[in-house]
Amino acid sequence: MKNRYFIEISFKGTNYVGWQAQKNGISIQTTLDDALSKILQNNVTSIGAGRTDSGVHAESFMAHFETISKVNQNTAFKLNSYLPNDIAVKNIFTTKEKQHARFDCISRSYKYIITFQKNPFLEKESWVSHKEFDLDKMNKTAKFLLDTKNFEAFSRVQTNVKHFECEVQLAEWKKKGNATVFNIKANRFLRGMVRAIVGTTLKVGSGEMSIKEFKEVIKSKDRGMAGAAAKPYGLYFVKAEYPFKLNSIL
């Protein structure tokens, strides 16, 4: 009999085509599945809380998998020994049979990091800007996202979704040391949505677009009116939340 487990991982996405398995490169999902299958000695396929684009990182990403093998504290140790250095298992949880990492997720959080000085130790871990932005205007703009339901203007043009509605619960820009960080939380995200929002909001912060024009972008539902997507390597998947408690085996 197969048992279902949730697994929490963090990863640096620089060398991957994103979370989901792709034909054109190595994904986080494929790498994790290979490790799980090797350690547990049966074919394992994981299902993630969402998708990440190529180059995007994660502080805490959740997935679930099923296996007939015994899973314990030693499993996490073996996985971390087997996985490459840019993927780490943070925790493994027991769960009920039907609990689902993607469909039961009630909110997902992302952050985008902008730095203003080149740092070789942070290469591909933040986006380096050579100009400052008006944080006050950007936060006024972010507030509109809380009252927005349709995010088609920030979605990839060719995407297979039933609707473009999302419920944004948090959207704010903050100074953190020498960096500027955008935090956003919602019940769901469209493909490319966060990077499109960041890219468009930065146009407001730089004076290239007015707050009024930003509102018009939302109303237009036209991706062509929004700004270019921000670079992927400044984006981090931060957290997935669930309506039930997960019990750690560690």
Which H or E run includes 77?
helix 73-82
Active-site residue, selected from the candidate residues 33, 53, 86, 104: 53
As a whole number of angstroms, the distance between CA 64 and CA 160 comes to 23
Q: Which two tokens stand for residue 52?
A: 């990440």
As a whole number of angstroms, the distance between CA 83 and CA 31 comes to 8
Does residue 53 carry a catalytic annotation? yes
DSSP string, 119-170: -GGGTTTSEE-SS---HHHHHHHHHHHHT--B-GGGS-SS---S--B--EEE
Question: Which residue type, as a one-letter code, is found at position 7?
Answer: I
CB 8 within 8 A of CB 87: no
Could you identify the residue written with the tokens 């971390």?
Answer: 80
Strand partners for 237: 58, 110
CB 221 within 8 A of CB 228: no
Annotated active-site positions, please?
A: 53
